[in-house]
Amino acid sequence: MSLFILEFVFFIAFGAIVFLFVRKLPYVSDISSEEPSTRKTFFKAEWIDEVDRKLIVLLSKWLRKMKLLVMRLDNYVSRHIERIKNRHASNSDQQNILKEIEQEEKKDEKREEKSEEVKDN
């Protein structure tokens, strides 16, 4: 499976390099001293510019959607973290309340013991 992924990445990169080469080829041929040919070649075709424009539009739409997805994910993670903080804070408050109740009960028991001792005397 990893070999397939590596091959896939390699061919995507190779395709990108060829595409960039085809896009820049007319600029290189303008610099050359040869007479430009009158017939339309494969590399000077208009469809390449049209594909380039469509690719830019698709890429910009895709990037906007990915940005929106990342922002939604960020909001979800932030809310989840806040919930965890609130739970932890409420648990610590509950533990503090339980400790206070236990301390009050101990104080009440001590008072009762003292009042019983006073009654016994």
Domain ranges of the chain: 1-32, 53-100
CA dihedral 79, 81, 86, 88 (to 10 degrees): 160
Over the stretch 69-109, which tens digit does the pLDDT of each residue have? 999 999 999 999 888 888 877 766 667 777 778 888 888 88
Q: What is the pLDDT of residues 14-30, one digit of tens each?
A: 999 998 888 887 766 56
How much of the chain exceeds pLDDT 90, in percent? 31
> What is the percent of the chain with per-residue pLDDT over 70, rounded to a whole number?
80
**Whole-number Å distance between alpha carbons of 61 and 49:** 18
pLDDT over threshold 90, residue 56:
yes
Task: Look at residue 44 in the predicted model and tell me its pLDDT.
Answer: 65
pTM, two decimals, is: 0.39
User: Which tokens hold the place of 76?
Assistant: 């979800």
Cα(87)–Cα(93) distance, integer angstroms: 10
What pLDDT score was predicted for residue 33? 52
